Amino acid sequence: MLLLMERLDDPQFERAAVRWISRFAVECGGVLLCELHAALKAVDALPAPDAIAMLGALLKRRGAARST
């Protein structure tokens, strides 16, 4: 969803991105500070392919469904 919002230049992207980072930290138990930092950098770099790959890898590592 974030990727689509960013591509459409949705004015709510920033708010949704902060909410996504928050949910990642809380719902993917045991998230390390370095993972949270990587997620924040990746969300900020969307829609870069490397950023999308990083988010996917972080979600996979934490066993979460891909919801970017």
pLDDT in tens, 5-28: 999 999 999 999 999 999 999 999
Q: How many separate domains does the chain show?
A: 1
Residue 41 in any domain: the answer is: yes
Distance CA(56)–CA(67), nearest Å, equals 9
Query: What percent of the chain lies above the pLDDT cut of 90?
Result: 85
Across the chain, mean pLDDT equals 92
Q: Kindly state whether residue 67 falls inside one of the protein's structural domains.
A: no
37-41, 44-48, 59-63: range with lowest mean pLDDT: 59-63
Question: 19 lies in which domain range?
Answer: 2-61
Query: Taking every pair of C-alpha atoms in the chain, what is the biggest distance, in angstroms?
Result: 33
pTM: 0.84
Q: What is the 8-class DSSP label of residue 65?
A: P
At 19, list the tokens. Answer: 């909410």
Q: Confirm if 11 and 52 have CB atoms less than 8 A apart.
A: no
* Tally of CA atoms within 13 A in the half-sphere of 31 that contains its CB: 22
25 in a domain, yes or no?
yes
Q: What is the pLDDT of residue 66?
A: 46
For the record, the structure tokens of 29 come out as 């138990």
Looking at the domain assignment, is residue 44 inside a domain? yes
What is the reported pLDDT for 62? 87
